[in-house]
Amino acid sequence: MERINMNDGTLISRGIIADTVISQFKMWATNPERYHRGNGVDGTYYGEHDGEREYDVWWTTQPPKEMWMPLVAQLYGKVTHMFGHENWSIHVVDCITTRPGSSKVYAHIDTPYRFADFAESDEVLGVQIIIPLDTFTIENGATALLPGSNAERIDYKDLETNREYYNDRLLSEGMQFLSEPGDVLMYDSRTLHSTMPNGSSEFRSALLINALKTDIIPRVQELDGNTDFIKK
């Protein structure tokens, strides 16, 4: 089953990713040797893993292309539909995991709109893809997004200044992506969203794929310190 609404900038497809693919990425997400950066249990953001640190929420290094390129090929038509053209490429692929007991809510928009160079663009410059590697429930903090907020052109500076206001909007107006492994959520990267508190006793992981309009990627890589590992 597929739900698509370009007016609110989202597309949801159910049960389209094979279990074997999900298992591969789940192993990557939960392997400490793959940790790259994260929000420590002490509340501090760390841009590089020191080999020992414990995280509230963390991201991995990028898996090898042979793992994710077949998946991108499978999703090619859907991503092209979101952009409205074929001039797009993959910027970064990684996995995110949220620890049980995490209370973090951090309303934000995604690359490239969090950079001044692209903040005022009216084009669809980025599409974010989330593929659950575990069941996403209200209890374990399924990703929340505010459908239609892509059309608001939320300013990244205003987000930084008024984070609590946007957190409250997500908590009161947002839609949580309740889903199973193998489901896919795509959204315009201007869409306001956040992970939600994980009140369960289990870790929750997802695969993240950030697709960008091809000709902006060199400039984004200059600006984005979080993706230094893909340039090495």
Q: Which domains does the chain have, with CATH numbers?
A: 2-230 (2.60.120.620)
Tell me the C-alpha distance between 225 and 57, whole Å: 18
pLDDT score recorded for residue 8 = 83
Q: What is the pLDDT of residue 104?
A: 86
CA 131 to CA 110: how far, in whole Å? Answer: 16
Residue 58 sits at φ, ψ, to 5 deg, of -140, 155
Q: What is the pLDDT along the chain (232 residues), one digit of tens a residue?
A: 444 444 688 999 999 999 999 999 999 999 989 988 888 777 787 777 777 778 888 999 999 999 999 999 999 999 999 999 999 999 999 999 999 999 989 999 999 999 999 999 999 999 999 999 999 999 999 999 999 999 999 998 999 999 999 999 999 999 999 999 999 999 999 999 999 999 999 999 999 999 999 999 999 999 987 654 444 3
Q: Find the helix or strand (DSSP H, E) in which 216 lies.
A: none
Q: Describe the strand order of the beta sheet including 55-60 as a list of residue ranges.
A: 2-5, 10-13, 184-188, 126-132, 204-213, 88-98, 55-60, 35-40, 45-46
In angstroms, how far is the first alpha carbon of the chain from the final one?
Answer: 40
* Number of neighbours of residue 46 by Cβ within 10 angstroms: 16
